[in-house]
Structure 1
Amino acid sequence: MEKIKSTGLVYGVEDKPDLGTTVVLGFQNVITAFGGLVAVPLIISGIAGFGVADTAYMVSAALLASGVVSIIQSKSFGPKWFRVGAGMPTIMGTDFAFVAPAASVIGAGGILGYFGGTMLGALLEIVLSYFVKPLMKFFPPVVTGSVISLMGMTLMSVAMGWAGGGFGSENFGAPLNIGIAVFVFLVIALLNHYGSRRIAPAAVLIGAIIGYVVCIPLGLVDFSQVASAEWFAFPQLFKFGVPSFKLEYALPFVSGYLVTVIETVGVMQTLGVVTETKLSDERIAAGVRADGFGSFIAPFMGSGPAATFSQNAGLIPLTRNASRTVAIMGGFIMIVMSLFPKFATLISIMPLPVLGGAGILMFGTVAAAGVQSLSRVDFNNRNMIIVASALGIGLGVSFVPDTVAQLPGILSGLFSSGISAGTIVALLLNIILKEKDETAAA
């Protein structure tokens, strides 16, 4: 990996902070991703009709699998021909791209059909990882800059939903929720800007803890869920039985894995920018391979497919911490949390406005990193069209996803995500629109 222009990281990719700092920053990584980590297993449990005990196990299994795969992705293992993991600071978790097909598969083959189908589909992503390198020539700066910007912009709706108290909640948008989000936002911004070298990287964690504590006397934290959770739970392989390996259960997940490949390439490129590291095509391919490998082994533990989380890409430039040692520690923390349901529940009941205040800064920072990347692009007519189209369609799909919901077959899956839709448009236009000598045309 080659270093590029520095923008002031406190800890680089290869830096190893002291143990105390590593634990604190690793915990910060987990907290900022926790909502995404537990949301999908809760949804899948609901689709499967699970009771409280099985639902709790699914959440613990998701944390266990996410921790294991995060370590693999961040550390990088294996021989050159089957290198798994990009060796970049990454948090992995279950992905929403697989929720829609999961509903139909679980309806036909139950939870074992879901696990078997995702395992077979994961083999497709592993195969596709070997074709990432030749595809990278289609990702010039005008495409990657658009994708990075789009990644931050599309996630902003998630952050605003958190800030309001969670879409669908009875008090969504209540002044109290907005006030908490603003308070946490300001605490993190001030700590990040004025804090010392030790305080600034942990600004998100400190802000979240302060916001959490403030919410307790306001009656926004329900500790009864913590009291009812188990103290300790052993992981179990194939708790629900042996997965059902049928092609009919795998086909619905194909579009989800194609979307995951596209998004993971975008996340890896974003990580390269925010960690000030020039990633080789082989590293990016190994990152995609880790997604596929993680999705294959996750059902062994009782979890769904694993994917590279984009939230972490926003945390890095904001906290100026790019140490992969910290991300690996985050993986170990998730594994420990999976063994102690009470501890995991204590984090999961954090009021959403607290996460919203942090999310606005994190995701906004990703969008700003994309704008910074695009500032180095020559904005001629061709590049302007590519950027405008990628952002316009990507944001449009994110704002009004029902517009593409009735597209036939695999197209519906590929364009269901604003990030994948914008990336596909940028890639296609980059191929279709040829460079031309605009001075001669003038």
Structure 2
Amino acid sequence: MDLNLLLIIPILTILLLLLYLPSIHSLTTPSPLSSMSDPVLPSQKKPPFSHIPPTAAVSSGTSEIRVVHHEDLNKKILVALIVASSLLVVILILLLCLWIYRVKKSKKSNIEMAQQSQDAPKGLSLGPILDKFNPLRMTGKKGSVTVIEYEWLVSATNNFHEDNVIGHGAFGSVYKACFNDHFLAAVKRIHVSGPDAHRGFENEISCLSRIQHQNIVNLLGYCIHGDTRFLVYEMMHNGSLESQLHGPSHGTNLSWQQRMKVALDIARGLEYLHERCTPPVIHRDLKSSNILLGSNFNAKLSDFGLATTGGIHGKNNIKLSGSLGYVAPEYLLDGKLTDKSDVYAFGVVLLELLIGRKPVEKMSPSQCQSIVTWAMPQLTDRSKLPNIVDPVIRDTMDLKHLYQVAAVAVLCVQPEPSYRPLITDVLHSLIPLVPAELGGSLRITES
């Protein structure tokens, strides 16, 4: 029932009662003239001591009849008042119910609007990307991540043809997928052969559905088909940092300035995870293969399957995992995991950018050497430092900047976690070393 109509009904009822009651009152209340006895002429006056005539009885009877008439009218008034009161009570109850309903509906609407406003920043940069997808192929939502039909993934990857393979992970391969309007995306196929793979898949969706940052890869959707899981990411056209540094090009596509930009982008992504997320997030598997490069070599962190919330974790409440060469000593030996573990891994990646060598290299069939162990004595010696720099970028940078980057790397890979800087301090150290047009604050005055 419309609220306005319910408001009008009691008003009309009250008006009718106001109009009706005076008319009833006029019927029940005798007028002054009728209450007076009929006028008697002086000649018709009776003697003061004369007996009452027999007609007095008739007069008395007439009075009794009038009393009975008044009682009937009073009953009618009482009934009318009861009916009107009941009607008003019913209307007030209806109004109360309608008001409660509208309040609940308004609260629900406000909650939905609040949720939309919270999700808006997450989907802001994804909007143009998600518009590429055919809505008919989206079967649902999980947070801000779209559920995509399996048949659509088969079509986009040409039935997961080997020619579309662009990478390999611990639990499966990554395929290039061409969707409608020639929109490209990366599809990771995960074979769930154990609890670790399933846990990593769920963890990836949980983390990336609530994280949105310019230096963290965008998860566009996912699919579950039997025992196989699929994650759909935005396409990063220059692949991983590992493939750029240690692949066929051997880092020739990355100049000194571009490498510093990559380091700055990684630091910004980690700073967001450690300082801006609530609760803080520890990536736990930072390495060059999990750093993806866009068309302008902008770097984004990926693979959050091992990510965990911040705080101090011991060996009793977290399973030891990670990649050889990037795992911090305290985590490897004691199972102690903190945000400083990510800082250590960042230091290893920074050494890769600086030196161009893999984090772990085989010295013999039975012996391996880490880049940290090999480089540490030379990083602190300014006379030896220029000689271990990647030949691709050697002599292309200001030596002062080289010393500063080496000093940051040395601090990050300290064996003792308390000696390592916070990622925020690392970020502020790198900003002055990156040209302003690449996201830093360095002003280049000479060619």
Task: Answer yes or no: same fold by TM over 0.5.
Answer: no
* Higher relative contact order, chain-length normalized (CA < 8 Å, sep 6+): 1
- Point out the structure with max Rg over C-alpha: 2
Scaled to the shorter chain, the TM-score interval is under 0.3
* Structure 1 length-normalised TM: 0.26
